Structure 1
Amino acid sequence: MSTPREGSGSFERRGPVRSPQGVAGGILLLALAALALWLTRDLDQGTLNAMGPAMLPRWLAIGVGLSGLALIAFAFIREGEPLERWSVRGPFFVIAGILAFAVTIRDFSFGPLALPGLGLVAAGPLAILIGGYATPEARLRDLVVLSLSLTPFCMVLFGDLLNLPIPIFPQALAGLFPADWSQKAILRATAAVMAVAAVIVFLLTRGRTSNRVDVADHSGGRI
């Protein structure tokens, strides 16, 4: 007599939906795409030769929405996994990272609370560090290296190559460089410093490993 193996994906299916997880994921992607399109409704899209601030987020939202539709369609065709219990840790830290990015990249005020705009140079690493803790396997060292390497890439891509009107750094930072330097020169120098810092952190900490040992008995008990 055989019994279904745990994790084999077999479950009691009701109705035409074969993959409840696919339907749930597709609906979530559609909701995110709709929110992004609504938030960018007043921004100029521009053209491929002169991209506006809405070009990239709008087309990314369209791609995300199409992916959501594909997930929902395949949920009625292919067998998938049922809905499972989920933790609030992931959504909490992801949303917290997005909010931290939103209130620090530009000047933000809410009643008596006022925060100066720090630009992408600070908002980017902050969002990565906070959002990275959405997974329990997150390590501070890995998140620091990622933030110091991904942020300068985005700075050069959006601020230098695409010339998008995104705040890159606070104006006070310009006073640390020679007066005859242009904004793009300061941007490139700042990005280079962050990239070098990422390499230094990676080299200085690559020999450090976690001393934690998994002592859980995966058969159901615990040692």
Structure 2
Amino acid sequence: MREGVGALGDRIAGGLLLVVAAVAWWLSHDFTSGFGQAIGPGAFPRLVSVPLGLLSLYLIIHPGVNQRWPERSALFRQLGLLVLLMIYAGLIQPLGFLPTALLTVTLMIRLFGATWRQALPFGGLLTVGLYLLFEFALGMPLPDMPGLNW
């Protein structure tokens, strides 16, 4: 029985997401936490990478029934999102959470069609909101900017 192009697309997406999950898991071990902290900043990427990896494997083994290949613009947005997430994972430790998240979130908002005028303030608000959530509500320290001691 011949599979549709949608199944091939699902397997490609599953393979790419599996790579993202593995890289996120690997890079999360470099995140350092303060002395005596039970949960460090690497816990969240590991928590996300495990289900992402499992769901990616499922997508590879059991692709969906969608027989339509996504449009070129949708493929580029998806690929751009994956590239942004990989860049984010690689830059968060050397640059710190705030500048890396601001750059990533703003570019993600732009990637999905917002103007710079919309993306910059909402990217800033989302970045600050995430920082406050992780640092204060969840008590999970995030990587600081180099040379910045609060």
Moved more, 143-152 or 13-22: 13-22
Distance 1:96 1:154 in 2: 17
Distance 1:79 1:101 in 2: 32
Verify: 1:67 aligned to 2:55, yes or no.
yes
Q: Cα–Cα, structure 1 residues 61 and 154, in superposed 2: closer, same or farther, change >3 Å?
A: same
For residue 152 of structure 1, the aligned residue among 121, 125, 128 is 128
For residue 86 of structure 1, the aligned residue among 49, 66, 72 is 72
1:124-203, aligned counterparts within 5 Å? 124-135=101-112, 137-160=113-136, 161-167=138-144, 171=148, 183=150
Contact 2:105 2:127 (8 Å CA) reproduced: no
The CA deviation string for residues 109-132 of structure 1, in whole angstroms up to 9 with x for no partner, is: xxxxxxxx4x43333222222233
Structure 1 vs Structure 2: percent identity of aligned residues? 23
Contact 1:159 1:168 (8 Å CA) reproduced: no
The CA deviation string for residues 114-152 of structure 1, in whole angstroms up to 9 with x for no partner, is: xxx4x43333222222233323x2222331232122111
Distance 2:53 2:89 in 1: 23
For structure 2, the 5+ residue unaligned runs are none
Distance 1:60 1:97 in 2: 13
Contact 2:6 2:65 (8 Å CA) reproduced: yes
Q: Cα–Cα, structure 1 residues 130 and 50, in superposed 2: closer, same or farther, change >3 Å?
A: same
Contact 2:15 2:56 (8 Å CA) reproduced: yes
Tell me the C-alpha RMSD between the 2 structures: 3.6
Q: Cα–Cα, structure 1 residues 33 and 125, in superposed 2: closer, same or farther, change >3 Å?
A: same
Tell which structure's C-alpha radius of gyration is larger.
Answer: 1
- Aligned pairs, number: 144
- Aligned residue type for 2:125: S
1:50-61, aligned counterparts within 5 Å? 50-61=38-49
SS of alignment partner, residue 21 of structure 1: helix
Q: Cα–Cα, structure 1 residues 150 and 165, in superposed 2: closer, same or farther, change >3 Å?
A: closer
Contact 2:97 2:142 (8 Å CA) reproduced: no
Match of 1:28 in 2: 16
Distance 1:36 1:144 in 2: 26
The CA deviation string for residues 34-93 of structure 1, in whole angstroms up to 9 with x for no partner, is: 222222345579xxx821232111121001112212323432xx5213434535753347
SS of alignment partner, residue 44 of structure 2: helix
Structure showing greater relative contact order (alpha-carbon pairs closer than 8 Å, 6 or more residues apart):
2
SS of alignment partner, residue 45 of structure 2: helix
By percentage of residues, which structure has more helix? 2
